[in-house]
Amino acid sequence: MQDPAENCVQFQSDEAHQNQNNQPNQNQNIEPIENQNVPAAPAKSNKSKKKHKKAKDNPPKPRKRPSAREIKHCENSAECETWWDFFKSIDKDHDGYIPIQEMKYAVSKNRHFFGISAEQVEKLAVKCDKNHDKMIEFPEFCEMMCLVKKQRFRRATIKYTNAVLPKDRQAKNTSYMVAYTCWPPPIFITAITILEITFYFYYAVGTVEGLSSNGPAPIDNELALSPKSKWQVWRYLTYVLLHNGYLHVIMNLIMQLLLGLSLELVHNGLRIAAIYFAGAFTGALLFFVFDPKTYLVGASAGVYALISAHLADVFLNWSEMRFRWIRVVFFGVWVIADFGWNIYSRYFARNPTKIAVMGHVGGAIAGVLLGVVILRNLQLKIWERIAWWICLVIYVLFIVACVICVACGFSIEVPTKNVTATD
């Protein structure tokens, strides 16, 4: 894996900055640690002692900031000046070396400057200690600060990611992101969102109605799920790219982004893509069982798969998950209210709507069952392994039953008007 330090911008310039003013940056309120009770540094190795003994034999050179050309991890000379001033404030004995324990103590006294914990900085210091002498020189300090600077931009991402992590996994996840990088970004949710927007505008602009809040649905499109083309298997997935009006696509994309990005940051894109498209496929099958004469477009089955995947993650980590009851109540009330209203509007209202309720149900079933199977579980318990097999078997049997019903033409059709459903 590529070292994160290699991603840092390397600054190259002449030595014109050597004689610049070395006064501390006024914007940096760095607390010096001189005259403070600093934990004793670990005993230096024989190699380190020889190095200092040799330094005593030879008169030390004047202690000044290295030239910008010697530093590979500063973006500009002002940044190098700030890091040099901080390095001098920590280096109490002015020998050009900072023991890692002293570095850790300095970080605890200057949290506003680093923005991450002392333990995380200690790990970075050990990583940047190229000669493994437990002493940090200024070039190593600059490499460490380059990594620290990256963490400041990641703090918002870490907090967002921790929203779907149990408490005991948050520290591990944060440490992982600090030690490596926030890579890859949430590519799947971003890509599928862009595709759905693109397809909507592409097909809406070519219609007489143009951009309309409600329809018309592109039922004649080869991507839509059609009762006349049940054997064209790609339609069971591609129908999520089409929508019935801009209100339909906006609501789906908002929920998709809110729910999918946080999950993908934790569980990676392949897992979320599998749950999303499994929800779409399951929703399409269940929809044909209950509405065998109706067309289907929309991404709601995939969105409901993401909703129920959140619930699966909560139940898997029930004892460790923060705000578990709030999450369960929020998602539970939302799902029950949405299903209840959609079922009434679709099957019992005087003027039935075009909502594909069974597509939502199929997506939710896939999200719950496959969420247990696919999502990451770093602390696997015995009962969770049993639940893993139970969920996998139930999902496979459910899919097999739906496929048999669709293939044999068996349906449980609820009387309603023949309309084009929007998922």
What residues are annotated to the active site? 300, 360
CA distance to 19, 49, 134, per residue, from 54 (Å): 28, 8, 19
Alpha helices in 163-268 (DSSP H): 167-179, 187-205, 235-238, 246-267
**Cβ 301 vs Cβ 280: under 8 Å:** yes
Q: Which single residue is written with the structure tokens 């990451």?
A: 376
Q: Which single residue is written with the structure tokens 């498209």?
A: 277
- Dist. CA 367–CA 311, nearest whole Å: 9
Q: Which single residue is written with the structure tokens 């380190």?
A: 48
**Cβ 291 vs Cβ 244: under 8 Å:** no
- Dist. CA 69–CA 77, nearest whole Å: 10
Structure tokens at 150: 């990256």
Cα Rg of the chain (Å, integer): 29
Checking DSSP bridges between strand 98-99 and strand 296-297, what pairing results, if any?
unpaired
**Cβ 162 vs Cβ 111: under 8 Å:** no
**Cβ 282 vs Cβ 399: under 8 Å:** yes
- Dist. CA 114–CA 129, nearest whole Å: 18
CA distance to 29, 83, 89, 92, 421, per residue, from 103 (Å): 17, 13, 11, 11, 63
**Cβ 413 vs Cβ 291: under 8 Å:** yes
Taking alpha carbons only, the member of 73, 82, 71, 122 closest to residue 98 is 122
Helices 357-374 and 382-408: angle between axes, nearest 10 degrees: 140
H or E stretch covering 136: strand 135-136
CA distance to 51, 125, 198, 221, 397, per residue, from 134 (Å): 14, 8, 54, 66, 58
